[in-house]
Structure 1
Amino acid sequence: MNTSNLYKKDFFFEKFSKIGEDIRISFELFPSKDNFSEKKLWNTIQKLKLFNPIFFSVTHGANSGNENLTYSLVKKIKKVTNINSAPHLTCSDFTKVELKKIAQKYWENGISQIVALRGDELEGSSKSKMEAFDLVCLLKEVANFDISVAAYPEVHPKAKSAHSDILNLKNKLDAGANRAITQFFFKIDHYLHFRDKCFSIGIKKDIVPGILPIYNFDQLLRFAKLGKVSIPKGIQNTFENFKNDIDICKIIGSNIMLEMVYTLFKEGVRHFHFYTLNRLEIVYLICCIVNQISFKKINTGF
């Protein structure tokens, strides 16, 4: 079934043709662990570079020992695509001495962007007790990194309150972080309310919405549960009716993403960060429509 034929492409192209300003895009990837996934990953990277992203971010799984995988992928992306890449660095994984060595290695090898995160700490871990704020300060001591930090429109699960969570974000930005990238969300009002609250306490830096593609309903539920993200009833009901049809789920997911991007643009958002899941289909299609690229050039892989 070729689902790309089911999109009302003329409708979406007309809708996004009214957007007269460029949209800035960045993409999140994760290192592959075998040859098959490596080939898929590089196919994804080669296609996504068409949109001239301002950077690719590359995750580093907490306590997974894959910092070298992250470093290698970041270096290769820069070499192959000439696009900047930002490795994720989690301070729960390392001591301060280790973090400084990693940061120095990145800087000395031309990697000047980092996504600074606290990360999940294993129970009983003897590693660093640092927070993301401390990591931002450490990175700025090493060099003038371009730093992204995390933000949570629906409040970090471990935050004492919504207000304390926003104050923590302000501290990270005041310490030298350049922008915040949000956890994914589906209720746009949550993001807008969060952005307004940030502005009200003096946060002037960009709060970049993180957009998650939806491929199937069960995966959506798992991700939402892990991140304590609420799913609107309308989305739940729509997916419930078609959850066993993968192709229809992709169409639904694509339409949800398009509406989110369009609505957020109208609310002043100009930078969108896509959590690709290392998959090409939906994110590539969305970016083609948003960037007004001819459908003749699209090979979604659906």
Structure 2
Amino acid sequence: MTGTSDTPSISFELFPPKTEAGVTRLRDTVAQLSAADPEYFSVTYGAGGTTRDRTARIVEMVANRTGLPVAHHFTCVGASRAEIDRQAQAFWDNGMHRIVALRGDLPAGQSLPEDGYNDAAELVAALRRKGDFDISVAAYPEVHPEARDAAADMDHLKRKIDNGAARAITQYAFDTDTVLRFVDRARAAGIDAPIVAGIMPVANFEGLKRFSAGCGASVPDWMGQMFDGLDDAPETRAMVATGVAAEQCRRLMEAGITDFHFYTLNQPKVTLAVCRTLGLTPSIVAENAA
């Protein structure tokens, strides 16, 4: 399903909590987010597969709790081809057919195995050999930090699509014009698959700046001005964050981009507020709902 100019399509990314208390809170978060009628949820996978068991547990919990599709993130770093192939076969055999395929970040001190898949394009091809997976891949409007240049990064995205990915989900970029230019370049490069805009609602601005520095996403000066002095004003900060994300979605919809993937960071408040501004939340579940 894809959205139209009047009815955008949304999906939500979650991460597997480290504690039982976090899992309990995530159950409440999932109940709240489900009110926005997302197309699917996705659950992240730690560097080198370090959260494999927790990711699988959360995927199962979200699927059982919502009845909606759940995409399992899957990375290939830190594992041999045989290990990846076995895991892919297990996904298929267990009915886990929606995958977000990523190369992934290596844990500190590790290098790529000589007998492993080198990148996400090779991982997509390996998944396709095991079954007719619904595969999403990552795209980088501001260019992947390890890419030689923008042209090489676009060539790699095309390899991922050509190898069998159904869609690309962008890394978040707060400069909407950057996203629109990227989509234009992708179309000019012959990439016809849907491009889903990644949206990052701001929960903690200082934390966002640190995270963005590590993943190559720029934070415009105007955002710093908007969030300055709001560290101890959570309600005002949430309202500002809602306005920033909603305005970006509005501009993207005007340009014909209607599929949005929200990086929720397991915090539903701002994401739900943005969805309501888009007319997608018919009801709000109480924040402490079971």
The answer, yes or no, to whether TM exceeds 0.5 is yes
Contact 2:5-2:256 within 8 A present in 1 as well: no
Q: CA deviation at 1:289?
A: 2.4
Q: CA deviation at 1:100?
A: 1.2
The one of 77, 80, 86 equivalent to 1:92 is 77
Listed as ranges, the matches of 1:53-64 within 5 Å are: 53-63=38-48
**One-letter code of the match for 1:230?**
S
Per the alignment, residue 96 of structure 2 pairs with 111
Equivalenced residues, count = 282
Q: CA deviation at 1:293?
A: 4.1
Contact 1:216-1:246 within 8 A present in 2 as well: no
**Structure 2 alignment gaps of length 5 or more:** none
Per the alignment, residue 269 of structure 2 pairs with 281
The one of 49, 57, 62 equivalent to 1:77 is 62
**One-letter code of the match for 1:116?**
A
Between the aligned partners of 2:110 and 2:272, the Cα distance in structure 1 is 42
Q: Does 1:156 align with 2:156?
A: no
Per the alignment, residue 37 of structure 1 pairs with 22
1:216-239 deviation line (CA, Å, top 9, x unaligned)? 321121122112212222111121
Q: CA deviation at 1:65?
A: 2.4
1:55-93 deviation line (CA, Å, top 9, x unaligned)? 111100113522111112212222221101111111003
Between the aligned partners of 1:216 and 1:52, the Cα distance in structure 2 is 25
Q: Does 1:125 align with 2:111?
A: yes
Cα distance change on mapping 1:44 and 1:124 into 2, 3 Å: closer
Query: What SS does the corresponding residue of 1:140 show, helix, strand or coil?
Result: helix
**Structure 1 alignment gaps of length 5 or more:** 1-18
Greater CA drift, 230-239 or 253-262: 230-239
**One-letter code of the match for 2:32?**
K
Per the alignment, residue 190 of structure 2 pairs with 202
Q: CA deviation at 1:260?
A: 0.6
Per the alignment, residue 172 of structure 1 pairs with 160
- CA-based RMSD of the aligned residues comes to 1.8
Contact 2:78-2:112 within 8 A present in 1 as well: no
Contact 2:199-2:263 within 8 A present in 1 as well: yes
Contact 1:217-1:249 within 8 A present in 2 as well: no
So what's the TM-score if we normalise by structure 2? 0.92
Contact 2:5-2:258 within 8 A present in 1 as well: no
**One-letter code of the match for 1:106?**
F
Greater CA drift, 50-59 or 270-279: 50-59
Structure with the bigger RCO (C-alpha within 8 Å, sep 6+) is 2
**Structure holding more helix per residue:** 1
The one of 242, 260, 270 equivalent to 1:272 is 260
1:170-202 deviation line (CA, Å, top 9, x unaligned)? 010011000000111100011011100000010
Q: CA deviation at 1:251?
A: 1.3
Between the aligned partners of 1:64 and 1:144, the Cα distance in structure 2 is 22
Query: What SS does the corresponding residue of 1:53 show, helix, strand or coil?
Result: coil
Contact 1:179-1:205 within 8 A present in 2 as well: yes
Q: CA deviation at 1:267?
A: 0.7
Q: CA deviation at 1:290?
A: 1.2
